Structure 1
Amino acid sequence: MSSSAPVRTTYHHGDLRNALIRAAAELAQAGGPSSVTIRAAARAAGVTPTAAYRHFAGHEELLEAARQHAVDLLSASMKAALDRLEPAEDPVERALCRLAAIGRGYFTFALAEPGLFRTAFTGRTGPLPPMADIEESSAFRTLIGAVDDLVDAGYLSEGRRPMAEFTAWAAVHGLAMLHLDGPLSTLPDEARDLALERTVEILSEGMGGPALPGPARARLRRVARGG
């Protein structure tokens, strides 16, 4: 079988695997997770598919490597947004701005790199592992830390803390998907930014607002559960 790409035969140990991962990430960036295949990655890396199969048993393993690479880039975008924050003396303002920056970094990455963003949530994503097994440097731990900061600052009560990180995650992720694959895809940049601003604002105000009266909260939870 012939190929127009040059075939390389002088990789040091481990170099080809990394080259294939980079190629898979570039394929995902251009065309999303469906474009990641052993054959396409091998062609991009300048080797035969047979050589690629020495490092990846099949398509799923390569896609998982590309997915993890995409997750790392998403996390880097969130942390870069945090690094750009100006210092705030008030602990509540500081914690809320951290939450907003994380949302901004997430949203920015989704719109700038839709192929990689979709890849980050494909393949063997599986359930979240136990908290003790989640790396401190992960994007999810960064989000959890921001929500915990709101509790430490006295803005979010301990009673309302459970699952708050999922609420924040779902709000920004859902908004990103509405822009990428939904009815908001044609909005101009200014309207997109405003939608994110309002999402973060409403979420933040809701976290610190007064709790519902007990009977109203119980009824609301019943409705949410479908009862």
Structure 2
Amino acid sequence: MSKRGYHHGNLRQALVDAALQLIEEKGPTGFTLSEAAKQAGVTPAAVYRHFDGREDLIAEAARQGYEIFGDVMQYAYDKGQPSALASFEATGRAYLAFARKYPGHYIAMFESGVSVNRSPELAQASARARGVLEKAANQLSQHIPEGQRPPAAMFSAHIWAMSHGVVELFARNSPGTQSPFPPEDLLETGIGVYLRGLGLIPPDS
């Protein structure tokens, strides 16, 4: 087997890429470091030059995922400007789009059990991604009278939880949880109900 990752000086990333594929195929606890090393074309001993163990490798996959996620969320937010409502709704949809396009990263981030506080770099990447949704929530909440306005962190957490629930239950092919509605429709209508409750969009006629 070719040891292209090692010889090209990019072994660390080759191992992350191997881990992402194995995570997607077997789950975050379904593979060993030896399997990741074999897929990257190196010996198991070579892994320890870059990672302390499997959890450390998964944490790096999660960090890279949060970096991509933050970019996706920021792009969605910017695309919706100057409308606060459009930006907020776009960041919610971006969550679902990210989970579908980057399943290995998504699993490493949200289903591996690795804490976002495992390293300062991981915590920073996670906070940046959450910050985009919170920024969108804060901008939209300015349209609510101050005395009735929920904290932006709570506002964004509600949408994050709703998005995460739709992804986990209906967009990740969980056995026995098929919905008669597309995940995109579930998320859009759920966000609509939430925003109507806050008086941010008018009720259906």
Correspondences of 1:180-199 after superposition (within 5 Å): 180=172, 181=174, 183-185=176-178, 187=180, 191-199=182-190
1:77 and 1:182 map into 2 onto residues whose CA distance is 28
**Alignment match of 1:26 (pick from 7, 12, 21):** 21
Answer yes or no: is 1:175 the counterpart of 2:166. Answer: yes
Identity %: 30
Please list the CA deviations of residues 164-198 of structure 1 after superposition, one character each: whole Å capped at 9, or x if unmatched: 2211111111121110226543546xx33221210
**Alignment match of 1:68 (pick from 63, 79, 98):** 63
Contact 2:15 2:40 in 1 (8 A): yes
1:34 and 1:134 map into 2 onto residues whose CA distance is 25
Answer yes or no: is 1:38 the counterpart of 2:25. Answer: no
Contact 2:73 2:94 in 1 (8 A): yes
Please list the CA deviations of residues 93-115 of structure 1 after superposition, one character each: whole Å capped at 9, or x if unmatched: x1121111011010122234444
Give, in angstroms, the shift of residue 33 of structure 1. 1.9
Root-mean-square deviation over aligned CA pairs: 3.0
Answer yes or no: is 1:118 the counterpart of 2:107. Answer: yes
- Report the secondary structure of 2:52's partner residue: coil
Task: Give the gaps of 5 or more residues in structure 1.
Answer: 89-93, 210-227
Count of residue pairs brought into register by the alignment? 191
Task: Give the gaps of 5 or more residues in structure 2.
Answer: 201-205
**Alignment match of 1:138 (pick from 128, 135, 146):** 128
Output the TM-score relative to the length of structure 1.
0.70
User: Counterpart in 2 of 1:10?
Assistant: 7
Give, in angstroms, the shift of residue 16 of structure 1. 1.6
User: Counterpart in 2 of 1:108?
Assistant: 97
User: Counterpart in 1 of 2:84?
Assistant: 95
- The change in CA–CA distance for 1:36 and 1:67 in structure 2 (over 3 A counts) is farther
Output the TM-score relative to the length of structure 2.
0.77
User: Counterpart in 2 of 1:216?
Assistant: none
1:36 and 1:102 map into 2 onto residues whose CA distance is 33
Contact 1:171 1:199 in 2 (8 A): yes
1:72 and 1:185 map into 2 onto residues whose CA distance is 30
**Alignment match of 2:149 (pick from 149, 152, 160):** 160
Contact 1:96 1:150 in 2 (8 A): yes
Give, in angstroms, the shift of residue 76 of structure 1. 3.0
User: Counterpart in 1 of 2:192?
Assistant: 201
Contact 2:167 2:183 in 1 (8 A): no
